[in-house]
Structure 1
């Protein structure tokens, strides 16, 4: 699908979500997206649409966030010019986006406590608190190369170098 056709479909989706025709979306509007409603990190993803406490997102902001979830296609592998920005859906940008879902206090590190909070969201009540703490601790220890007790972005990216982020980070938003 061409970028133009994709933008047209996204605009239609934006208009469908904007049921009151306000010209922007609120948290409640975004909660109608089924893929986000069932995603354990759905609320965190919705938060990313509203940086710095904003209460609404316009169409360009909507597209900017969703661009991280666009699959990498042959178009995305072409050589970029030195002044061209890295596409939102590049591997590194997908990793940066995922990293910020864990780094709640925005200090550039994922602490054991932040890892624990994400694990709680992802596994729910199927695992005891003690097991979750053990998993969070082990996960941070395995990724923490510099021994500071937290995971930096570079450590996060390195720990996921074998994972197919391009496929794992895709959400079906269009109807």
Structure 2
């Protein structure tokens, strides 16, 4: 039954996760404890339902989009490693310690922007269409704004961002629009210290 001991993290796994995500040893062990408390099936994975029990996600208008970001296409479970990989996008950028690995850290500005872009790109075609923008805006504001007002916001947003005039926002256009936004701070969660 409760064979939690067999699912404990090994030191090698912690070291690999540290390298991949930039989280400290203590943050990883605390987040593992949180992960196992959410794992109602006690099988070492989380389902979408497990995530929906997190109050902050349950009340977030983009909660379903954020939850979907944890899951690889076609999968309905996420293991601890995948959980940590997604959370790493929200790790604050450490100004004093530069990443020495060859790959860009998951919490870099460009990876944070790509993560945000994917929240809007509902059909995963690497473009944010007017319809996708409308759907996300509707999720965020609910019924507080009329469809006409939302349409106007979507049109104005695309008009300002769409440099190649193809009627949609590409990732490079998305990056350009957000160049003066402090994405590093806005997309950071203060994790356990």
Task: List runs of 5+ in structure 2 lacking aligned partners.
Answer: 1-21
Aligned residues: 171
TM-score (norm 2): 0.83
Of 128, 133, 138, 1:115 maps to 133
Task: List runs of 5+ in structure 1 lacking aligned partners.
Answer: none
Counterpart of 1:133? 151
Q: Distance in 2 between matches of 1:129 and 1:2?
A: 42
Counterpart of 2:71? 50
Aligned-pair CA distance for 1:172: 6.1
Aligned-pair RMSD on alpha carbons? 1.8
Three-state SS of the structure 2 residue aligned to 1:110 is strand
8 A contact 2:92–2:189 mirrored in 1: no
Are residues 1:27 and 2:48 paired? yes
Aligned-pair CA distance for 1:80: 3.9
Q: Distance in 2 between matches of 1:66 and 1:95?
A: 14
Three-state SS of the structure 2 residue aligned to 1:53 is coil
Three-state SS of the structure 1 residue aligned to 2:143 is helix
Moved over 6 A (4+): none
Three-state SS of the structure 1 residue aligned to 2:180 is coil
Counterpart of 1:85? 103
8 A contact 2:134–2:151 mirrored in 1: yes
Aligned-pair CA distance for 1:170: 2.7
Are residues 1:124 and 2:142 paired? yes
Aligned-pair CA distance for 1:117: 0.4
Are residues 1:95 and 2:116 paired? no
TM-score (norm 1): 0.91
Distance 1:160 1:138, change over 3 A: same
Aligned-pair CA distance for 1:105: 1.1
Q: Distance in 2 between matches of 1:8 and 1:64?
A: 14
